[in-house]
Structure 1
């Protein structure tokens, strides 16, 4: 039995869309007619052939195209719902079906029904999730596989739900911390450009009519205003082109690596990137190791959640060193890319046999330090933006008033 998406007309002539399960497209069309719906198209969510049922249209061979991805918030909610249903003793295929029925987004419903179809065909849940890597990453699938192997799928799913929810909250805090300073900076630049383009030309036109030489600051202001008026749109296009070209250059693996290496060396940004990636690494490794995933596999998966190429390579080297017999904390220390606190907590965990707990403590410490760094950085950015705007406006006012003061002194 497979999952099918359909479009049909109801008795009022309105187009309705939805999902149904059936052994074939013909059976799904029969179900639609039984519901007094006139089927327009039926399509397998697994990428089958598209059927047109009305007006004598023939079967189409168009492969389905839909976005097999899911937001972190949706993934957390779905995982928690599935964990509750599995914990209550409901069979996995029925739990997947019940979870799919609760979804309001058609994309999420399709994903879950496709997973259920694979489970009914005899695949394990981890194998079924592997058919949709865009929605369920390597870490997610590895934890599900470990939970299925150990017979503790429901607790593992609950841990996954907590992890995805925590990860989403961290990302949300990062975004919220940056919104206000960035909006303030954007407004400041917009106000300054508006003053230079519309207000300054009208005010300084009086000075340009005289034969007296204007002060250097006023001349610079007039030249800047003329440039913004005449070439501002070209400058904007050049900036957009530079950003686009820079992104194109970063598609090269070697250039991307050099750029990531440069970012790690930046004074404030580098430390921020280090903290973000270290927190992700520690949290992911703690979750995987506590769920029964082998350490080497957990290390390779934890490296994939990092966003910096240099730190990813460091994690791969750590995995190789551990495979050769080096302790985890020694491998982390030798890489030189992980904070000393993380290395010390890992060493303590290895010595006491409490590695997952110490990794969790390290992740929490890294997250707290990250929040403190963000608070300091954003706290400095806000007054800097205010000072920048105030200084720019002050220069504009001085450039306008200076010729007036000189005229008054002559009088």
Structure 2
């Protein structure tokens, strides 16, 4: 198998194509930025900006002992991505004019997210931009891995549902009408399963478009309400976090793991616990989780012990409260948050595996029941007609 290697050599970003059995077999004496499978023949894909690779490239360059400004200039000369050039130019202009890099990147917040902006700010405030970029890349890598696992888990049921809907669309519009004509010609009494099928077909054909239109309107209204009403968004996020069977547990673990991942990294950057907690809130996209974190911060600033503030929030589990308590009395909170990040990461991976192993047989059983119903509903009248003819 061939791989395209992007690496840093003599202060320049270079590319090579090499043969290897797997990525693990590849070793170079240079700093590797990325490894991708290479093929001359590729199916057309939608091009997207991979912004994480930009920060990974910057991290590799900084590890090679180049200064931050030299690293930015090197990337500016070598990158082919026009949007990445824009980001790098904004950073370069901020450096040359003495402005804060994180403020210069604020206009890219919707595209690159809050994390890079936050860690650029941390890096320049602490005076260790190299470590900040390393922490950023570690968090991006772990977050992307978790997100990929979640997406992989829900992809199967989504694809099955879409294909099932398309199959029913074909059956109700092409297959069932042919049998319906046959039933009318023989003027036979139809079994309940067949009557239910014909009734479902009529509803699907006559009102299917209206149902889809109403579903679209409902989705747009919900989306509008979420964007315009904080109280409504809070209620919806609480439902997502707590109330949906199977799915809510994955969502809650993903949010909590991400929180401890950021908190641990910020504490490693020598921020105080309250400062780390404040900055960790910036990455929360769930307003219910955010409200609980704000409650914790408020209680701590009011003089409450950290473990008491966490317990009062009722956001975490009993193990978390006990570990936070032990970390607080032994003055090892940074180590405990790292341990909690690992614990919730393992729990998330376990839950996703359980979800995947459960959802596949459930969907297969559901499809089998649908197929059995269709076959019986279509064939029972024909078998009865055959008996009458005999």
TM-score (ref. length: structure 1): 0.76
Query: Separation in 1 of the partners of 2:371 and 2:212?
Result: 22
Q: How does 1:107-122 map to 2 (within 5 A)?
A: 107-122=83-98
Secondary structure, aligned partner of 1:325: coil
Is the contact between residue 349 and residue 355 of structure 1 (CA under 8 Å) also seen in structure 2? yes
Q: Are 2:203 and 1:247 aligned?
A: no
Query: Separation in 1 of the partners of 2:219 and 2:112?
Result: 31
**Structure number having the greater helix percentage:** 2
Higher mean alpha-carbon deviation, 369-378 vs 242-251, is at: 242-251
Query: Separation in 1 of the partners of 2:111 and 2:200?
Result: 50
Q: By how many angstroms is 1:143 displaced?
A: 3.5
Q: CA 1:247/1:149 → structure 2, altered by over 3 Å: closer, same or farther? A: closer
Q: By how many angstroms is 1:407 displaced?
A: 3.3
Partner of 2:23: none
Q: What are the ranges of 5 or more consecutive residues in structure 2 without an aligned counterpart?
A: 1-47
Partner of 1:257: 234
Q: Encode CA deviations 1:324-353: one digit per residue, 9 max, x unaligned.
A: 222222211110011223323322322333
Q: By how many angstroms is 1:115 displaced?
A: 1.1
Q: Encode CA deviations 1:159-181: one digit per residue, 9 max, x unaligned.
A: 11111121112112221222223
Q: Are 2:176 and 1:200 aligned?
A: yes
Is the contact between residue 275 and residue 366 of structure 1 (CA under 8 Å) also seen in structure 2? yes
Is the contact between residue 90 and residue 105 of structure 2 (CA under 8 Å) also seen in structure 1? no
Q: Are 2:289 and 1:311 aligned?
A: yes
Q: CA 1:407/1:329 → structure 2, altered by over 3 Å: closer, same or farther? A: same
Higher mean alpha-carbon deviation, 154-163 vs 129-138, is at: 129-138
Partner of 1:331: 309
Partner of 1:291: 269
Q: Encode CA deviations 1:101-125: one digit per residue, 9 max, x unaligned.
A: 2322100111111111111011244
Partner of 1:170: 146
Partner of 1:21: none
Query: Separation in 2 of the partners of 1:109 and 1:138?
Result: 19
Q: By how many angstroms is 1:138 displaced?
A: 4.8
Query: Separation in 2 of the partners of 1:372 and 1:209?
Result: 57
Partner of 1:363: 341
Q: Give 1 or 2 for the bigger CA radius of gyration.
A: 1
Q: How many residues align?
A: 340
Q: CA 1:222/1:136 → structure 2, altered by over 3 Å: closer, same or farther? A: closer
Q: By how many angstroms is 1:130 displaced?
A: 4.5
Q: Are 2:123 and 1:151 aligned?
A: no
Q: CA 1:255/1:408 → structure 2, altered by over 3 Å: closer, same or farther? A: same
Is the contact between residue 91 and residue 104 of structure 2 (CA under 8 Å) also seen in structure 1? yes
Partner of 2:22: none
Higher mean alpha-carbon deviation, 138-147 vs 390-399, is at: 138-147
Partner of 2:193: 217
Is the contact between residue 274 and residue 338 of structure 1 (CA under 8 Å) also seen in structure 2? no
Q: CA 1:194/1:114 → structure 2, altered by over 3 Å: closer, same or farther? A: same
Q: By how many angstroms is 1:132 displaced?
A: 4.3
Query: Separation in 2 of the partners of 1:85 and 1:206?
Result: 74
Q: By how many angstroms is 1:94 displaced?
A: 2.1
Secondary structure, aligned partner of 2:186: coil
Q: What are the ranges of 5 or more consecutive residues in structure 1 without an aligned counterpart?
A: 1-69
Partner of 1:345: 323
Secondary structure, aligned partner of 1:197: helix
Q: By how many angstroms is 1:87 displaced?
A: 4.3
Query: Separation in 1 of the partners of 2:168 and 2:363?
Result: 12
Is the contact between residue 303 and residue 315 of structure 1 (CA under 8 Å) also seen in structure 2? yes
Q: CA 1:403/1:149 → structure 2, altered by over 3 Å: closer, same or farther? A: closer
Is the contact between residue 277 and residue 306 of structure 1 (CA under 8 Å) also seen in structure 2? yes
Query: Separation in 1 of the partners of 2:346 and 2:385?
Result: 59
Q: By how many angstroms is 1:218 displaced?
A: 1.5
Partner of 1:12: none
Is the contact between residue 72 and residue 88 of structure 2 (CA under 8 Å) also seen in structure 1? yes
